[in-house]
């Protein structure tokens, strides 16, 4: 496996769907390759940062609508 192939397998590796053989070859490559190891860590950082967007506060107008809707819940 070369780096160009390894980068395209990163998500399959993270998702745990590589075959035993592919996984072994992937890990063997990663162990000896700084660039691919950095790339893998950065893909995981990208995923973790995306998850932080879930904590973003709701825009005020939407929050107000939801609160109104909850208050009117019983009247529906």
Partner 1 sequence: MTYVGDRGVAEDVVQESWLTCVRSLDRFEGRSSLKTWIFGIVINVARSRRRKESRILPFASFWRRADSDEGRPTVDRSRFGSDGMWQSGPPSWDSIPESKILGDETVQQVKAAIEALPPKQREVIVLRDVAGFDAGEVSSLLGISAANERVRLHRARAAVRQALEEYLR
Give me the residues that bind partner 1 (CB under 8 A), please.
Answer: 2-5, 7-8, 10-12, 15, 17, 33-36, 38-39, 41-43, 45-47, 49-54, 56, 59, 61-62, 65-66, 69, 73, 76
How far apart CA 17 and CA 64 sit, in angstroms, is 43
Judged by beta carbon, residue 24 or residue 46, the one nearer partner 1 is 46
Hey, CA dihedral for 11, 13, 17, 19, is it positive or negative?
positive
Query: Taking the complex as a whole, how short is the minimal distance between the CB of residue 48 and partner 1, in angstroms?
Result: 8
- 34, 13, 38: which is closest to 25 by C-alpha? 13
Query: Taking the complex as a whole, how short is the minimal distance between the CB of residue 17 and partner 1, in angstroms?
Result: 7
**Residue with structure tokens 């998850």?**
51
């Amino acid at each position: 496996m070369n780096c160009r192939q390894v980068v395209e397998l990163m998500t399959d590796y993270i998702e745990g769907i590589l075959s035993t053989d592919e996984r072994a070859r992937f890990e063997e490559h990663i162990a000896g390759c700084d660039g691919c190891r950095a790339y893998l860590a950065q893909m995981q950082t990208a995923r973790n940062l995306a998850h932080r967007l879930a904590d973003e506060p709701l825009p005020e107008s939407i929050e107000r609508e939801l609160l109104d809707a909850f208050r009117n819940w019983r009247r529906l």
